[in-house]
Amino acid sequence: MSWSVGAIPGRRHADRLLDCFHPCQDDRPTTSFVPSPEAIQASAAAPLQLEQALQLLAQSGRPVPAGEPGSPGWLQELIDALVDLSSRDALTGLANRRSFELALAREVDRVARSGEPALLLVLDVDHFKRVNDTFGHAAGDQVLRAVATALLDSVRPMDLVARIGGEEFAIILPNCPEPFGATVAERVRRRVERAPVLAGPAGQPIEVTISIGGAFAPQWVRSTPALWVERADQQLYRAKAQGRNLVQLEAGAVCFVSSEERQALFDTTFGFEDLE
Amino acid sequence: MTAPAPRRSRITAVTSGKGGVGKTFVAANLAAALARLGQKVLVLDADLGLANLDVVLNLFPKITLHDVFTGRQPLDEAILPAPGGFSVLLAGSGMVEYSRMTPEVREQLQKVIDEVAPRFDRVLLDTGAGISDVVLYTVSLADDVLVVATPEPTSLTDAYATIKVLATTQGRREIQLLVNQVRRPGEGRTVRAQLQQVLDRYVGPSLDGAVRLTLVGEVPADTAVREAVQRRQLLLESLPGALASQAVVAAASRLLDLEAA
């Protein structure tokens, strides 16, 4: 099965992100490109301009590719390093928004096929602006790095931790059964709360907390990455509204109709006029 | 990576929260009405577990979707002409084993739909009742959803739950409604209004946009319907002048108007 976002029902309403993703990468055979003799000849005639690429690698603290410069092996290593560089957030080293979106699209596709439960958490540092304003941007950066470390420390290696915005993070937790969701999210929240961030002017600790919103991917149902993010975001909003330093997870996948709603369905005083 | 070829077919899932509200009756007769209005229509029996489209149409083919799924027969062999001038793809009774949505069933269903869709103007997916994973998955394959409900309190509650689930888990913001077995003219509008108001109050605020229910039609409670079902004939074929027949034709025509708008 391969499909594009264009074929997803309901996308008109939730296409804020990820418009260009075709979540079918898993199905595709790995393509290896073997340069033709002509191409090699052409590259010898017009040498590749790699200075900037090498500078970028050096700046990010990565080693220079091993082997004979210009050889296929060396070029492959260089490309791999650039790919890694372009999928990471420069400040924290976490997955960046680009690779998060790619991973999310894959996970939506996987859940739809396998029916495995998967949880998406979106996290936001509480009162981050206040940290920046009070202690300066360097301290703010230190807080973000500390949060990143705390997040990585509190999840499994298979989970993807990403920085998706200024002080906004996300974690994709594949194969996370629903009863465990709240426990995991709570562990993440507490881990951040307890991690000391020594970023004050004299190295004194700054109190850092996060708010977390979470939603499970609808199992078996073809959904969209954007919709999933939107649902988790709504829960994050609730966590913020309810006082921050809190976890809010969307209620179970099966939709609940409250007795109040039932009553409203038959409440004749509710108004019977169709204004259509 | 190539984009999929543009599909001219429109896939409409016909569903209902509750069983026994005439969902299959509506799907079959709506298909006949759309066919009369010039559309090339296929009804796919997507109620894989408890299909009864075959009973409504009095068609008991040797080759069904089951044979296609198991690879015993090519898809074309399973597509049959139905009495109302449309085509059907029936599930057959051998499908009980598909009442759970396994990855294999999903792939198969998707493949079949992808293959038939370009050949028709419209594919109607006659889904099962309820909000099972099979139903939700089938609905997720459709462009539009038509919810069939009756004014009965239980049907209304189940229709509401279905709409709420589709809005929250699939991001549906436009849902079509057909009210069956109305006891007085205008009751369909009342039902729509009531559902809409409760949606606006309890579902809309938690989403990024309101869920809009559009009334496609209301079909009166008509003894002709039971008569046709008992004779195992399509209402539109056997009693085209019946009030219910006229209502279904009106609904089909409204559906096309809505889509053209």
What confidence tens digit (pLDDT) does each residue in B207-243 have? 777 899 999 999 999 999 988 888 888 999 999 999 9
What is the Cα–Cα distance from A96 to A85, expressed in whole angstroms? 10
What is the Cα–Cα distance from B189 to B183, expressed in whole angstroms? 12
In angstroms, the separation between the Cα of residue A260 and the nearest Cα of chain B is 9
What pLDDT digit, counting tens, does each position of A160-178 carry?
A: 999 999 999 999 999 998 8
| For residue A15, pLDDT beyond 70 | no
- The stretch B17-34 carries a mean pLDDT of 89
| For residue A253, pLDDT beyond 70 | no
Predicted local confidence at residue B49, as pLDDT: 56
- The stretch B183-210 carries a mean pLDDT of 90
- The stretch A98-121 carries a mean pLDDT of 88
Considering only CB atoms, which chain B residues are within 8 Å of A225?
none
Predicted local confidence at residue B50, as pLDDT: 61
- Residue A167 falls in the annotated catalytic set: yes
Predicted local confidence at residue A163, as pLDDT: 98
For residue B215, the one-letter residue type is L
What is the Cα–Cα distance from A242 to B245, expressed in whole angstroms? 54
Question: Cα–Cα–Cα angle for A166, A169, A174, nearest 5°?
Answer: 155
Mean pLDDT of chain B: 87
In angstroms, the separation between the Cα of residue A188 and the nearest Cα of chain B is 26
Predicted local confidence at residue A252, as pLDDT: 57
Strand partners, B31: none
Q: How confident is residue B100, by pLDDT bands cut at 50, 70 and 90?
A: low
| For residue B133, pLDDT beyond 90 | no
| For residue A110, pLDDT beyond 90 | no
Considering only CB atoms, which chain A residues are within 8 Å of B169?
218, 221, 223, 253, 255
Q: How confident is residue B99, by pLDDT bands cut at 50, 70 and 90?
A: low
CATH architecture of A97-275: 2-Layer Sandwich (3.30)
In angstroms, the separation between the Cα of residue A122 and the nearest Cα of chain B is 17
Predicted local confidence at residue A250, as pLDDT: 84
**Which one of the listed residues A77, A101, A107, A167 is annotated catalytic?**
A167
User: Which positions 6-65 of B are in contact with A (Cβ < 8 Å)?
Assistant: none
| For residue B202, pLDDT beyond 70 | yes
Which of A62-76, A78-92, A108-122, A223-237 shows the highest mean pLDDT?
Answer: A78-92
For residues A239 and A250, the model is more confident at A239
**Whether B92 contacts B61, CB under 8 Å:** yes
Rounded to the nearest 5°, which phi and psi values hold at B113?
A: -65, -45
Interchain contact B199–A (C-beta under 8 A): no
> Mutating which of B198, B211, B212 best tests the A interface, going by the most A Cβ atoms within 10 A?
B198
What pLDDT digit, counting tens, does each position of B33-85 carry?
A: 999 999 999 999 887 756 678 877 888 888 888 888 888 888 898 899 998 89
Interchain contact B168–A (C-beta under 8 A): yes
What pLDDT digit, counting tens, does each position of A185-200 carry?
A: 999 999 999 988 888 8
Which two structure tokens, joined as six digits, stand for A191? 């881990």
Predicted local confidence at residue A45, as pLDDT: 64
Interchain contact B107–A (C-beta under 8 A): yes
| For residue A4, pLDDT beyond 50 | no
Q: How confident is residue B154, by pLDDT bands cut at 50, 70 and 90?
A: confident
What is the Cα–Cα distance from A110 to A116, expressed in whole angstroms? 8
What is the Cα–Cα distance from A184 to A169, expressed in whole angstroms? 15
Interchain contact A266–B (C-beta under 8 A): yes
For residues A268 and A163, the model is more confident at A163
- The stretch B2-24 carries a mean pLDDT of 77
Give the one of B169, B192, B195 whose C-beta lies nearest to A221's C-beta: B169
Q: Mean pLDDT lowest for which of B29-38, B41-50, B93-102, B190-199?
A: B93-102
Give the one of B110, B143, B206 whose C-beta lies nearest to A1's C-beta: B110
Considering only CB atoms, which chain B residues are within 8 Å of A262?
157
Predicted local confidence at residue B131, as pLDDT: 74
- Percentage of chain A beyond pLDDT 70 is 78
In angstroms, the separation between the Cα of residue A257 and the nearest Cα of chain B is 6
- Percentage of chain A beyond pLDDT 90 is 50
Checking ipTM against 0.85, whether it exceeds it is no
Report CB contact under 8 Å: A115, B3. Answer: no
Residue A55: exposure state from Cβ atoms within 10 A (0-12, 13-18, ≥19): exposed
Interchain contact B123–A (C-beta under 8 A): no
Interchain contact B170–A (C-beta under 8 A): yes
| Residue ranges per structural domain of chain A | 2-86, 97-275
What is the Cα–Cα distance from A164 to A20, expressed in whole angstroms? 17
For residues B98 and B239, the model is more confident at B239
- The 3 state secondary structure assigned to chain B is CCCCCCCCCEEEEEEECCCCCCHHHHHHHHHHHHHHCCCCEEEEECCCCCCCHHHHHCCCCCCCHHHHHCCCCCHHHHEEECCCCCEEECCCHHHHHHCCCCHHHHHHHHHHHHHHHHHCCEEEEEEEECCCHHHHHHHHCCCEEEEEECCCHHHHHHHHHHHHHHHHHHCCCEEEEEEEEECCCCHHHHHHHHHHHHHHHHCHHHCCCCCEEEEEEEEECCHHHHHHHHCCCCHHHHCCCCHHHHHHHHHHHHHHHHHHC
* Long-range CB contact pairs, A200-205, < 8 A, 24+: A200/A135, A200/A139, A201/A135
Q: How confident is residue A22, by pLDDT bands cut at 50, 70 and 90?
A: very low
Contacting residues for A146 by C-beta, under 8 A, at least 6 apart: A195, A197, A199, A208
Give the one of B4, B101, B194 whose C-beta lies nearest to A220's C-beta: B101
For residues B87 and A41, the model is more confident at B87
For residues B10 and A8, the model is more confident at B10
> Mutating which of B9, B194, B202 best tests the A interface, going by the most A Cβ atoms within 10 A?
B194
Considering only CB atoms, which chain B residues are within 8 Å of A11?
171
Q: How confident is residue B169, by pLDDT bands cut at 50, 70 and 90?
A: confident
Residue of B nearest to A271 (CA): B194
Report CB contact under 8 Å: B171, A22. Answer: no
Which two structure tokens, joined as six digits, stand for B129? 């009742």
Predicted local confidence at residue A77, as pLDDT: 93
In angstroms, the separation between the Cα of residue A211 and the nearest Cα of chain B is 19
Considering only CB atoms, which chain B residues are within 8 Å of A258?
202
**Whether A185 contacts A209, CB under 8 Å:** no
What pLDDT digit, counting tens, does each position of A128-142 carry?
A: 999 999 999 999 999
Considering only CB atoms, which chain B residues are within 8 Å of A276?
189, 192-193, 215
User: Which positions 197-236 of A are in contact with B (Cβ < 8 Å)?
Assistant: 218-224, 227, 230-231, 234
For residues B80 and A23, the model is more confident at B80
- The 3 state secondary structure assigned to chain A is CCCCHHHCCCHHHCCCCCCCCCCCHHHCCCCCCCCCHHHHHHHHHCCCCCHHHHHHHHHCCCCCCCCCCCCHHHHHHHHHHHHHHHCECCCCCCECHHHHHHHHHHHHHHHHHHCCCCEEEEEEECCHHHHHHHHCHHHHHHHHHHHHHHHHHCCCCCCEEEECCCCEEEEEECCCCHHHHHHHHHHHHHHHHHCCECCCCCCCCECCCEEEEEEECCCCCCCCHHHHHHHHHHHHHHHHHCCCCCEEECCCCCCCCCHHHHHHHCCHHHCCCCCC
What pLDDT digit, counting tens, does each position of A28-57 carry?
A: 445 566 667 777 666 666 778 888 999 999
What pLDDT digit, counting tens, does each position of A195-225 carry?
A: 888 888 888 889 999 999 999 987 666 677 8
For residues A172 and A11, the model is more confident at A172
Report CB contact under 8 Å: B140, A221. Answer: yes
Report CB contact under 8 Å: A9, B170. Answer: yes
Going by their DSSP bridges, the two strands B10-16 and B144-149 should be labelled as parallel
